[in-house]
């Protein structure tokens, strides 16, 4: 009787393990969230209707890594003032299709490229995996899509705990040879809590975003980095001034370029990973990429 009970319990235990294993295998979905601009190129690729009044779109993208199927839920429209939503709830659309993912090269960047195809229209769009946390949409010319001062084209991993990645695999980049500008400006809105905590910033209660505007100056003769001005808005505007430099060989990828900004008036230091001439990704003090959320990403876009 005792032997029979042990045998039964053993079979139950093994069955429990198998069931849980199967469950883990079937629940292999990567969920990416974002709020992006609703630019003409993206509007065409996604097959959504838009007007000049429409400001941005919310993404919830589910990638089933078992069968390489995806579903994308979109909510887009004109932003409602003083809220994170849309006037009259905005418009909604759902796209379903298939995708492939392969390692590739995008300009000076290397990483996994996801290419998605809409089952109904055949329309395609793609994005590049920057690390475990963040992914960035690509233009038809296979460059990083450039956002605006309000929203970027970065998608954020909704499943990943920030402690899951202690040494992200950063990409590489270099300043283009044709870039002779002596002044370059970037802007964007980032989440608030993580970067405020890391830099001991005093922010408003319930802070969920910070607005950034950065001007990088280069020496007119040598084009080497010189000074910068950073305008930051949360409770109210404040301005940082200081010097910046380009660092190499300090991340997991030795060819990655990091713009390091050191403020002389507040003694703060900020590190920005160069995606290309037009897009920068904010790093923490350990040179790790900050994970964004469904509203904002830690991405800055060049200002024309």
242 and 193 in a common domain: yes
Q: How far apart are the C-alpha atoms of 113 and 117, rounded to whole Å?
A: 13
144: domain range? 27-164
- 158 shares its domain with 230: no
Q: For residue 16, is it within any domain?
A: no
The CA distances from residue 19 to 16, 29, 171, 258, in Å, are: 5, 18, 38, 46
What does DSSP assign to residue 163?
A: G
Q: Which residue has the higher pLDDT, 162 or 114?
A: 114
Q: Domain boundary at 111, 137, 164, which?
A: 164
Mean predicted confidence (pLDDT) in 148-176: 70
Is 45 within a domain? yes
CB contact at 8 A, 214 and 259: no
Same domain, 160 and 189: no
The answer to the question of residue 85 being in a domain is yes
Residue 159 vs residue 95, higher pLDDT = 95
**DSSP letter (8 states) at residue 38:** -
Sign of CA dihedral 233, 236, 237, 240: negative
| Of residues 24, 47, 300, the one with CA closest to residue 154 | 300
Shared domain check, 102 and 67:
yes
Give the per-residue pLDDT at 285: 87
The reply to whether 212 and 267 lie within a common domain is yes
pLDDT band at residue 159 using 50, 70 and 90 as cut-offs: confident
> In the chain, where does DSSP find H-type helix?
2-26, 40-46, 193-198
> Rounded CA gap, 151 and 299, in Å?
9
Q: How many domains does the chain have?
A: 2
Decide if 3 is inside a domain. no
* Model pLDDT for residues 1-19, shown as the tens digit of each residue: 444 455 554 454 445 444 4
295, 254: one domain: yes
This prediction has a pTM of 0.86
Distance CA(221)–CA(300), nearest Å, equals 27
Residue 171 lies in a domain: no
Please say if the pLDDT value at position 164 is more than 70.
Answer: no
Per residue in 203-236, pLDDT tens? Answer: 888 889 999 999 999 999 999 999 999 999 986 6
**Strand ranges inside the chain, DSSP E:** 29-37, 56-64, 69-77, 91-106, 109-118, 124-129, 134-138, 154-157, 183-190, 210-218, 225-233, 237-248, 257-263, 269-274, 279-283, 299-302
- pLDDT for position 206: 83
């Amino acid at each position: 009787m005792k032997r029979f009970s042990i045998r039964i319990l053993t079979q139950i235990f093994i069955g429990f393990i198998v069931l849980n294993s199967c469950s883990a295998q079937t629940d292999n979905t990567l969920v990416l969230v974002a709020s992006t601009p609703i630019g003409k190129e993206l509007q065409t690729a996604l097959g959504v209707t838009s007007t000049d009044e429409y400001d941005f779109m919310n993404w919830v993208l589910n990638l089933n890594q078992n069968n390489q199927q995806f579903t994308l839920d979109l909510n887009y429209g004109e932003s409602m003032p003083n809220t994170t939503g849309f006037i009259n709830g905005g418009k909604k659309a759902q796209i379903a299709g298939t995708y492939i993912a392969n390692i590739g090269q995008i300009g000076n960047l290397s990483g996994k490229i996801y290419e998605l195809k809409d089952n109904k229209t055949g329309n395609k769009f793609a994005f590049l995996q920057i690390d475990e946390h963040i992914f960035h949409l690509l233009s038809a010319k296979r460059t990083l899509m450039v956002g605006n001062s309000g929203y970027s084209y970065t998608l954020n991993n909704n499943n990943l705990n920030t402690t899951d990645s202690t040494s992200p695999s950063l990409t590489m980049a270099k300043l283009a040879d044709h870039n002779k500008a002596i002044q370059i400006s970037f802007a964007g809105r980032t989440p608030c809590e993580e970067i405020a905590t890391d830099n001991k910033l005093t922010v408003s209660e319930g802070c969920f975003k910070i607005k950034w505007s950065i001007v990088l100056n280069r020496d007119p003769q040598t084009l080497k980095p010189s000074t910068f001005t950073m305008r930051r808005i949360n409770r109210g505007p404040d301005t940082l001034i200081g010097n910046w430099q380009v660092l190499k060989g300090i991340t997991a990828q030795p060819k990655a370029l990091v713009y390091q900004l050191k403020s002389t008036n507040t003694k703060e230091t900020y590190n920005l990973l160069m995606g290309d001439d037009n897009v920068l990704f904010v790093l923490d003090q350990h040179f790790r990429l900050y994970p964004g959320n469904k509203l904002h990403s830690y991405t800055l876009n060049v200002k024309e």
